[in-house]
């Protein structure tokens, strides 16, 4: 057998977001030599990069935070039911301080290559300035939405004013006072941003291609007293979200829409629409995500709400999606998004009617009009899920490239590993259960950590997914996704990004079964000591 050589580290982690921070903690606890390499100048991942006005959780703060540490649960106080970006960033800093994670982290380090060395059984990472790092194991904590994309519109580089992608927002606040602002995009990001920018700017023009079905967030402050109650309820809350399909605290409803009278439906939807958070999406009738007729009824209800809230009928009509039904893309959560269009200085431009022809030196030229802006905001999304893997030159056994392996969509074993990429583990890679992302991260990193611990204890220096495991898991993931209406719609969840060549076709990118079932299957593999893998 090959005598493994000594790499610099036991474990390298790419990314210091929630995945990377927790992985760092777990590896430190195993007394392993770990290094986290992070492109940004500090920790936080999504909550480091996305500093645009209005950036916040769309999921209840206390279900989105970590549950792995009782101390954290006891000590951290959330100030809002849906915490803003600054608070989440502070929370992640608090964790890194508390567990002394900083010492094993290196920032401003963009990993450009990750190559497996078969001889030495180690990963060799190279950063953009040419530094090399080697490790026995590699954990990717790249995030699902970390590779921002600009629109593929001619002239993007010609624009001379201030321009920002929402996910590359500067640390110093942008001054909107007296400025005319253009925003491209109406995804979950833009829907958080638009009302905030409208409060500050002289004028705001929103360029919309596909409208989205957004519902009210109903955010509010958390008093000290309420926080105490939340703290006391943590064990029960965790039990509830752990048992839930998407790991959110909202009840999954098993009621059938067809058993309710039109009046009952209306009353139920009014009730849900007034609830904070994802309730309207998650706790709706069971057919909404799988039955087009049921979906059309709930879509009509939301359309009616939009018409009630937006005064100008043309604008209201444009803001209502026509090509797909409610809940089939990730539902954006809004705070007075619709009312913002009632402001005299806010205007919607429909890009299906009047497409953008180019970005100019001082604004945007559509087929109808020349717009001049002081500030241009690209809320144009990401090359999602596999995009952050494509940004790094990953090579496994025999120099096989990950992008070649995933040319026709991701192929994984348990969403955690890839054949031909030994000793590499992915936290929230493709084909994992998403839903409440930190819950998925906590599980994935915990599983990975247990696995590495086992390998170390048994002097195993090689673990690789087997072909059969990958084939079965990939088939399983495809089977689970095949009846979902959401998989028939273009969105980042189906891997589509019209700005990126090679991302025009939909793929099955996520495990869409229930999270407890996902965990059960992964736990089974751990229980048989990872024998479904190739171990050496
Ligand atoms: P999304 O949801 O991918 O939204 C991107 C938006 O940008 C969407 O409205 C796109 O329209 C629009 N877009 C992208 N490219 C163009 C061009 N070339 N022209 C016009 N409009 C364009 O990204 P977000 O950042 O909002 O949200 C990502 C996730 O982060 C979100 O779901 C949450 O989970 C957190 P399109 O729909 O493609 O017509």
379 lines ligand 1 (CB under 6 A): yes
How open is the CA angle 300-303-305, to the nearest 5 degrees?
115
Does the reported pTM lie above 0.80?
A: yes
pLDDT of residue 4: 54
Pocket test for ligand 1, best of 381, 436, 486, 503 (most atoms within 8 A of CB): 381
Pocket test for ligand 1, best of 149, 205, 380 (most atoms within 8 A of CB): 380
Q: Residue 327 region, left (φ>0) first, then alpha (ψ -120 to 50), else beta?
A: left
Closest atom of ligand 1 relative to the 381 alpha carbon: 23
Give residue-wise pLDDT tens across range 78-103.
999 999 999 999 999 999 999 999 99
Range in 3-12, 289-298, 390-399 the model is least confident about: 3-12
d(CA 293, CA 265): 14
Specify the 3-state DSSP secondary structure of 511. strand
Q: How far is the centre of ligand 1, averaged over its atoms, from the C-alpha of 352 (Å)?
A: 15
282 lines ligand 1 (CB under 6 A): no
d(CA 324, CA 37): 40
pLDDT of residue 5: 64
DSSP 146-211: -SB-----TTGGG--SEEEEGGG--SSPP--BT-EEEEE--SHHHHHHHHHHHHHBSEEEEEESS-
d(CA 364, CA 25): 47
Flag whether pLDDT at 127 surpasses 50. Answer: yes
**Which residue, chain included where needed, has tokens 């959110």?**
248
Residue in 227, 222, 223, 219 with CA at minimum distance from that of residue 82: 219
Flag whether pLDDT at 2 surpasses 60. Answer: no
381 lines ligand 1 (CB under 6 A): yes
Beta strands in 355-434 (DSSP E): 356-359, 363-366, 370-372, 375-378, 393-395, 424-426
Q: How far is the centre of ligand 1, averaged over its atoms, from the C-alpha of 150 (Å)?
A: 10
499 lines ligand 1 (CB under 6 A): yes
pLDDT of residue 252: 87
Give the phi and the psi of residue 320 in degrees, each rounded to 5: -95, 120
209 lines ligand 1 (CB under 6 A): yes
Query: DSSP character for 246?
Result: T
pLDDT of residue 165: 98
Average pLDDT over residues 27-49: 98
Give the phi and the psi of residue 134 in degrees, each rounded to 5: -125, 150
Q: How far is the centre of ligand 1, averaged over its atoms, from the C-alpha of 384 (Å)?
A: 11
pLDDT of residue 3: 53
Indicate the average pLDDT of the chain.
97
Output 524-530 pairs: Cβ under 8 A, ≥24 positions apart: 525/414, 526/447, 526/450, 526/451, 526/454, 529/454, 530/451, 530/454, 530/455, 530/463
* % of the chain with per-residue pLDDT over 70: 99
Give residue-wise pLDDT tens across range 216-261.
999 999 999 999 999 999 999 999 999 999 999 999 889 999 999 9
Flag whether pLDDT at 329 surpasses 80. Answer: yes
Flag whether pLDDT at 274 surpasses 70. Answer: yes
Flag whether pLDDT at 58 surpasses 50. Answer: yes
Q: Are strands 424-426 and 132-140 parallel, antiparallel or unpaired?
A: parallel
Flag whether pLDDT at 427 surpasses 80. Answer: yes
470 within 8 A of 360, measured Cβ to Cβ: no
Flag whether pLDDT at 408 surpasses 60. Answer: yes
Distance of alpha carbon 153 from its chain centroid, rounded? 25
Give the phi and the psi of residue 124 in degrees, each rounded to 5: -115, 120
Range in 2-11, 27-36, 466-475 the model is least confident about: 2-11
Give the phi and the psi of residue 358 in degrees, each rounded to 5: -165, 160
Average pLDDT over residues 464-486: 96
Give residue-wise pLDDT tens across range 353-383.
999 999 999 999 999 999 999 999 999 999 9
Average pLDDT over residues 426-438: 95
432 lines ligand 1 (CB under 6 A): no
Q: How far is the centre of ligand 1, averaged over its atoms, from the C-alpha of 329 (Å)?
A: 11
* % of the chain with per-residue pLDDT over 90: 97
303 lines ligand 1 (CB under 6 A): no
Measure Cα distances from 370 to 204, 362, 381 in Å: 15, 9, 24
Q: How far is the centre of ligand 1, averaged over its atoms, from the C-alpha of 167 (Å)?
A: 12
pLDDT band, residue 1 (cuts 50/70/90): very low
d(CA 238, CA 244): 10
pLDDT of residue 483: 86
140 lines ligand 1 (CB under 6 A): no
pLDDT of residue 158: 96
Give residue-wise pLDDT tens across range 149-190.
999 999 999 999 999 999 999 999 999 999 999 999 999 999
Q: How far is the centre of ligand 1, averaged over its atoms, from the C-alpha of 437 (Å)?
A: 19
d(CA 126, CA 123): 10
């Amino acid at each position: 057998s090959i005598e493994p050589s000594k790499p610099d580290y036991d474990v390298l982690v790419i990314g210091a977001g929630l995945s990377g921070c927790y992985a760092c903690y777990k590896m430190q606890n195993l007394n392993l030599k770990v290094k986290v390499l992070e492109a940004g100048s500090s920790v936080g991942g999504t909550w480091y990069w996305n500093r645009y006005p209005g950036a916040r959780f769309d999921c209840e703060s206390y279900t989105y935070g970590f549950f792995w540490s009782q101390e954290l649960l006891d000590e951290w106080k959330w100030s809002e039911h849906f915490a803003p970006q600054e608070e989440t960033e502070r929370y992640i800093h608090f964790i890194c301080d508390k567990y002394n994670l900083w010492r094993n982290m290196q920032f401003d380090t963009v990993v450009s290559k990750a190559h497996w060395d078969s001889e030495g059984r180690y990963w060799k990472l190279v950063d953009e300035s040419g530094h090399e790092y080697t490790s026995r194991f590699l954990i990717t904590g790249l995030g699902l939405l970390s590779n921002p994309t600009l629109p593929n519109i001619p002239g993007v580089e010609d624009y001379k004013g201030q321009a920002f992608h929402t996910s590359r927002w500067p640390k110093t606040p942008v001054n909107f006072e007296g400025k005319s602002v253009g925003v491209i995009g109406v995804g979950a990001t833009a829907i958080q941003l638009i009302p905030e920018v409208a409060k500050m700017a002289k004028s705001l023009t929103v360029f919309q291609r596909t409208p989205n079905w957004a519902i009210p967030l109903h955010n509010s402050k958390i008093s000290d007293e309420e926080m105490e109650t939340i703290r006391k309820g943590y064990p029960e809350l965790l039990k509830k979200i752990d048992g839930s399909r998407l790991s959110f605290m909202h009840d999954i409803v098993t009621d059938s829409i067809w058993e309710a009278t039109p009046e009952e439906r209306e009353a139920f939807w009014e009730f849900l629409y007034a609830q904070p958070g994802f309730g309207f999406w998650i706790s709706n009738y069971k057919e909404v995500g799988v039955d087009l007729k049921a979906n059309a009824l709930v879509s009509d209800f939301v359309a009616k709400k939009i018409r009630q809230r937006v005064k100008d009928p043309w604008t209201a009509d444009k803001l209502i999606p026509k090509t797909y039904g409610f809940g089939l893309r990730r539902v954006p959560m809004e705070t007075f998004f619709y009312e913002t269009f009632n402001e005299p200085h806010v205007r919607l431009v429909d890009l299906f009617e009047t497409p953008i022809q180019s970005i100019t030196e001082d604004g945007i030229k559509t087929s109808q009009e020349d717009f001049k802006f002081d500030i241009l905001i690209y809320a144009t999304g990401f090359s999602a899920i596999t995009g952050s893997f494509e940004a790094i030159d990953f090579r496994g056994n025999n120099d096989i490239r990950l992008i070649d392996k995933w040319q026709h969509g991701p192929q994984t074993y348990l969403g955690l590993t890839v054949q031909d990429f030994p000793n590499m583990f992915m936290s929230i890679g493709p084909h994992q259960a998403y839903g409440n992302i930190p819950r998925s991260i906590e599980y994935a990193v915990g599983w990975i950590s247990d696995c590495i611990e086992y390998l170390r204890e048994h002097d195993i220096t090689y673990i690789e997914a087997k072909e059969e495991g990958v084939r079965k898991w990939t088939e399983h993931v495809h089977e689970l996704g095949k009846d979902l209406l959401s998989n028939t719609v273009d969105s980042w969840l189906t891997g589509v990004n019209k700005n990126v060549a090679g991302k025009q076709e939909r793929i099955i990118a996520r495990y869409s079964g229930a999270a407890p079932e996902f965990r059960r299957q992964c736990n089974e593999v751990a229980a048989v000591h990872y024998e479904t893998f190739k171990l050496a």
